[in-house]
Every structure is written in structure tokens, then in C-alpha cells.
Structure 1
Amino acid sequence: MGLLDISNVTKSYGAVEVLHSVDISVDEGEFLVLVGPSGCGKSTLLSMIAGLEGITSGEISIKGRTMNGVHPSKRNIAMVFQSYALYPNMTVGQNITFGLEMHGTPKPEREDAMNRVAEMLQIDNLLDRKPGQLSGGQRQRVAMGRALVRDPDVFLFDEPLSNLDAKLRVDMRTEIKKLHQSLGTTIVYVTHDQIEAMTLSTRIAVMNKGYVQQLGTPKEIYDTPSNVFVATFMGSPAMNVFPSRIVVKDGAPHAAVTGHDGVEQLLRFPQPNLAAWDGREILLGIRPETITDPEGADRNADHIASLRNHIGVTEPAGSDTFVTMTLGGRDAIARMRADVTVRAGEVFDFAVNMDKAVAFDPKTEERIQP
């Protein structure tokens, strides 16, 4: 049993079920990110944890206490909203301590908590200002301060960085990570941004169409996606997924891949059980960074396959060069070193790290387990 337990939870609006049998246990001190496209149910689930939405069936408990039907004010949770939700007529200090005041906390304790949190968030020089005098990043810090000052069991963040510009999002991401590491708080965080999910979390729940598609660490989600949706949603650029066929040669399974010219090339697949798929179609998943030039290939990899293919487009991106080619009739991207010499229109000998390749069943789109 974790600090927060979500057990077989569903949510329906009339006859329409929008969340389907969600089971997640969050341990104390964990940073769980709920990530997925718009409409996948992640914000609905967060609202159910907060008590802002009712539960159709199942159970949510915090510290072993069932929360079904418990008023939000009785749950000892703190929520940071996308819109900040600050009171415009109050100062920063008053916004931070308002919740404590409503709970009858004595003034000296309120001020001590406010000063501690304001110093931590580096907004102690803003305590006398009104929200209208603050930047977006400063307002977000105040909203976080209002949550932190309460010392709740669970912090809930609902897309808190989506209103900030790109650079400020990166800065605030770092601040939230630092806070979690220093305080050891339990956080459930909703975002549609998979970079936020990967960088902030200790575990990720990838959601789509009301289902949890996969629950795991960032490394598990990235390296061993459970299905094609997770593979292509997590990662930037996304994992290349294209049709292939298993061919057993010299007793070992190989992935038959067609390039721009339609000629099959065999890539040794280090997953022995795939020999049972001899002659059958699969979907082959390969991350862009595992397709590179021979000099840039991972020296620790056991299975580097050679792939000769035509370069369609090159995109220099400072620290990397992205190369687009055709594999299995689909566009595929290679992520290469910035100083590699590649030109559009030429034929190039790529190195593919097959240790990182993933096979999916084309009918179910689920990963074929080793």
C-alpha cells in the first residue's frame, strides 16, 4: 500500500465512461507524472484525487484513509492550478497565507511559514506586491508557495507551466525538480508535455482514451514502451516505427528492412524468441539516436547492424544533425553528431544499435515481450 492508492477507479458521465479501471499506487516521496494527449483523462483523474470530481466506482485512499465522498478541504492535499488562481486584491504574502488563515493557524505561525517558503522560492522581496505587478513566472512561484506553506500529504499540479514561455518553462521545471529533491514531497503532476514528464518524474503513467497505457520509470517508458502509442508519444523526435518482417538466418532472428530502393536488408535482432516469428510481419521500433554513422555508434552495444540507405533530408540543429530517410515505406529519422558529414541525395552507410530495437505485433500494436 502506498501513500496514495487509486484502486480500480472509473469515471462516467451518463453512459460515457471516460476513465477505465485505473490502478496506481504512489509511494511517499514519489513524483508521479500523468501524461497524455488532450482528452485522455489525466486532469479528470487529478480532480478526482483532489475531490473536485466524484468517483463512479473504485476507491481512492490517502495514508490508508478512503477519500470517496470526503470534501476537498478535509483531504490534506494542496493543488497548483494552470491558471495560478491568485486573489488579485491580496498581496503575495496574503495569497500565500490565506489558506492557513482559513484553517485558524495563529498569525505568528502563518508568518513563519510564509517567510520560510518565500525564501525557498526566492520571492521574499515580492511579499507586499499584488499579483498584477508580477510576471508569469513570479505568479507561478506564488501559487506554488501557497501550496507548500500548508505541508500537505500530497501536492497536485495541473499543467502548472503551460502558460509560460519556452525558456521560463525550462527554468521552472528545474525549480520544481529542486524542490522535490530537497523536500522529499509526494507529487502528482499532470502535463501533456512528454519532456516535462521525462525530466521531472520518478514514475510516469502514460494515458490515452481513459486508459493507463503504461506505468513505469522514465527509463522503462523510453526503452521498453508497452505499445506503439507509448513508443511514438514519448520521445522527441518520436521513435521510428515501420513495417518489417522476421527472417531467421544462421539460427538467429533478423529484421528484414526495405530502404528507398525497395531492396531488403537484414538487421540482426538480439531477441531470440523472435525466431518463432520467422516469416511473419512485425512493426519495428528504433529510436532516432540509435541510428547514426559508424564512428558515432555506441561502443558498448553488442549488436550494431549496418544499413545502407538514401538520405532524403538533413536538418542541422546545433548539437545534432537530423537525417530523414525512408524505411519500410515510411519516413524515419536518424539523430547524428553535429560534425558528421551527410548530404541530402547521397547514399550513406548507417550504423543501427539493434540492442535498443523493439518489436511490436502489427495486429495488437503491443510490444512482443522478450
Structure 2
Amino acid sequence: MGFLDINRATKSYGAVKVLHETDISIDEGEFLVLVGPSGCGKSTLLNMIAGLEEITTGDIAIKGRSMNGVRPAERNIAMVFQSYALYPNMNVAQNIAFGLEMHGVPKPERDKAVAQVAELLQINHLLDRKPGQLSGGQRQRVAMGRALVRDPDVFLFDEPLSNLDAKLRVDMRTEIKKLHQKLRTTIVYVTHDQIEALTLSTRIAVMFGGHVQQLGTPKEIYDRPANMFVAGFMGSPSMNLFPATIAVENGRAVAKARKSGGEVTLPFAEGRGFEAQAGREIVLGLRPEAITDRDGADHRSRAVHVIEVPVEITEPAGSDTFVMAHLGGKEVTGRFRADVDVRPGQVFPFAINMEKAVAFDPRTEARIA
């Protein structure tokens, strides 16, 4: 049993089921991120934990106590919204203290709690200002302060950074991570941004179509995606997916795929067990960093294979250069070093690290190895 247990929880609106049976157990101090595209059910699940949406079937328990039928105010949870939801007529200190005041906490205790949270979030100098006098990042800190001051069992974040500009989003991401490391609070965080999910979480639940597609650590999700949806959704740029066929040459399993003007043979790393599946059609998955220039390849790998491929597009990106080509009739993206002299139209050696290769069943889209 975890600190927060979601047991076979579902949500339906009439005949439409928006969340199918969901089982997640969250330990105390974990940072779980629910990630997926719009309409996947992640915000619905968060609202069910908060008590803002009723559960259709199943159960949600906090610290062993079922929350079914328990009002939101009695769940000892705190929620940080995308829109900040600050009271415009109150100053920062009053906004932070409002929840405590509603719960009858005496003013000296409220003032002490507000001062502690303000110092933690470095907003001491803003306590007398109204929300209209604050920047987006400052408003988000105040919204977080209002949640923190209550010392709840679980913090719920509903896309809290989506209204911020790109740089501020990165800065606030770092602040939230620091805060979690310092306080070791239990957090459930909803986002559609897979970079946020990978950088913030201790575990990720990738959702699509009302189902949890995969639940695991950021490394598990990134390196061993459960299916082609997870592979394509997580990572930026996303995993390259292209058709190939398993064959055996000289006793070793290889993947054969089409390339411009012919066919390419990519030997799998030893011990993957593909030798018994000769002739099987697969979808081969390779992250962009597994497709690079010869000198940038992982020299510790025993399965780096160099192939000559015509370059179609190059995209300089500061620390990297993204290079596009075609394999298996699909466009693939490689992550090259920034100083590599590679140009569109050039036939260039691509180093492919097959230790990082993932194979999927083209019919079920599930990972097979």
C-alpha cells in the first residue's frame, strides 16, 4: 500500500468513458507526473484525487483512508492551478494566508507560517503587493505559497507553468525541483510537456485515450518505451521509428531497412535474442542521440555501425546540429555535434548505436525488445 493509492478508478460521463481502470500507487515523497496530449484523461484523474470530480467506479485512498465521498476541503490536499486563482483584492500575504484563515488558524500562527513560506519561495519583498502588480512567475510563486502554507498530505499541480514564457518556464521548473528535494513532499503534477515530465518527476505515468500507457521512472520511459505511442510522445526530438525486417547473417541477428538507393543492414547488439525471429517485420526505434556522426558516437558501445546516407536537411541548434535523412521510407533525425561539417545533399557517414535500438510489433505497436 502506498501513501496515495488509485485502485481501478474510472470516470464516465453518461455512456462516454474518459478514464479507464487506472491503478497507480504513489509512495510518500514521490513526484509523479501525469503526462499526455489534451483529452487523455490526466486532468480528470487529478480532479478525482482532489475531489473536484466524482469517481465512477474504483477507489482513491490517501494514507490508507478512502476518499470516496470525502469533500475536497476534508482531504488535506492543496492544489496549484494553471490560472493561479489569486484573489485580486487581497495582497500576497493575505492570499497565502486565506486557506489558514478559513480553517480557523489563529493570526499569530498564520503570520508565522506566511513568513516561513515567503522566505522559502523568496517572495518576502512581495507580501504587500496585489496580484496585479506581479509578474507571471511571481504570481505562480504566490500560488505555490498558498498551497505550501497548509502543509497538506499531497500537492496537486495542474499545468502550473503553461502560462509562462519559455525561459521563465525553465526557471520555475528548477525552482519546483529544488522545492521538492528540500521538502520531500508528495506531488502529483499534470502537464502535456514531456520535457517537464522527464526533468521533474521521480516517476511518470504516460496517458493516452483514457489509459495509462506506461508507468515508470524517467529513464525507463525514455530508454524502454512500452509502445510506439510512448516512444513517439516522449523525447524532443521524438524517437525515430521506421520499418525493418529481422534477418540472421553469420549467426548474428540484423535489422534490414530500406535507404535511398538500396538497403542497409544494422546488426543488433549481442544477447538481444532476435536470432529466433528471422523474417519478422518490426518497427525499429532509435533515439536521435543514437544516430550521430562518427566521432560523436559512444565509443564504449560494441554495436556502433556506420552507414552512408544522403543528408536532406540540417538544423543547427547551438550545442547540437540535427540532421535529417531517410531510412525505411521514413524521415529520421540524428543528433550530431555542433561543429560537424555536414550539408544537405551530401552523402555522409551516420554512426548508429544499435545498443540503444528498440523493436516494436507493427500490428500491436507494443515493444517486443
TM-score interval, smaller chain: over 0.9
Aligned counterpart, 2:155: 155
Q: Residue 46 of structure 1 aligns to which amino acid in structure 2?
A: L
Larger deviation, residues 269-278 vs 220-229: 269-278
Q: Give distance in 2, aligned partners of 1:155 and 1:321.
A: 39
Q: Distance in 2 between matches of 1:46 and 1:168?
A: 24
Residues 169-222 of structure 1: per-residue CA shift (max 9 Å, x gap)? 001000000000000000000000000000000000000010000000000000
User: 1:245-269 deviations in whole A, cap 9, x for unaligned?
Assistant: 00111111100021111x1121111
Whole-angstrom distance in 2 between the partners of 1:294 and 1:136: 45
TM-score, normalized by length of structure 1?
Answer: 0.98
Aligned residue number for residue 204 of structure 1? 204
Residue in 2 that maps onto 1:266: 265
Partner of 1:77: 77
Any conservation in 2 of the 1:252–1:272 contact (CA below 8 Å)? no
Gaps of 5+ in 2: none
Segments of structure 1 that go 5 or more residues without pairing to the other structure are: none
- Within the alignment, does 1:286 sit opposite 2:286 as a pair? yes
- Paired residue type of 1:368: I
Deviation digits for residues 16-46 of structure 1 (CA, Å, limit 9, x no counterpart): 1110110000000000000000000000000
Task: Give, in whole Å, the separation in 2 of the partners of 1:363 and 1:341.
Answer: 39
Aligned to 2:60, what secondary structure does the other structure show? strand
Residue in 1 that maps onto 2:368: 368
TM-score, normalised relative to structure 2: 0.99
1:252 corresponding residue in structure 2: 252
- Write out per-residue CA displacement over residues 275-301 of structure 1, whole angstroms, 9 at most, x where no aligned residue: 222112100000011111111110121
Look up the match of 1:92. 92
Rounded to whole Å, the distance in 1 between the matches of 2:260 and 2:49 is 50
Report the counterpart of residue 240 of structure 1 in structure 2.
Answer: 240
Spell out, residue by residue over 1:48-107, the C-alpha distance to the aligned partner (whole angstroms, 9 max, x if none). Answer: 000000000011000000001100000000000001000111110000000001101111
- In structure 2, the partner of 1:188 is 188
Query: Contact between 1:31 and 1:200, CA under 8 Å: does it hold in 2?
Result: yes
Q: For residue 6 of structure 2, give the secondary structure of its aligned residue in structure 1.
A: strand
Code of the residue aligned with 1:341 in structure 2: it is: D
Question: Hey, what's the Cα distance between the residues in 1 that align with 2:154 and 2:251?
Answer: 53
**1:170 aligns to what?**
170
Runs of 4 or more above 4 Å deviation = none
> Percent identity between the aligned chains?
71
Q: Distance in 1 between matches of 2:90 and 2:350?
A: 61
Distance 2:307 2:218 in 1: 29
Aligned: 1:28 with 2:25: no
Equivalent in the alignment of 1:61:
61
Is 1:356 matched with 2:359?
no
Residue equivalent to 2:142: 142
Inter-partner Cα distance in structure 1 for 2:130 and 2:32: 32
For 2:300, the aligned partner's letter is N
How many residues are aligned here?
368
| Match in the other structure for 1:129 | 129
User: Match for 1:187: what amino acid?
Assistant: I
SS of structure 1 residue aligned to 2:273: helix
Q: Whole-Å Cα distance in 1 between the matches of residues 53 and 120 of structure 2?
A: 32
Q: CA offset at residue 273 of structure 1?
A: 2.2
- The one-letter code of the counterpart of 2:77 is I
How far is the alpha carbon of 1:343 from its aligned partner?
1.2
Alpha-carbon separation, structure 2, partners of 1:192 and 1:300 = 35
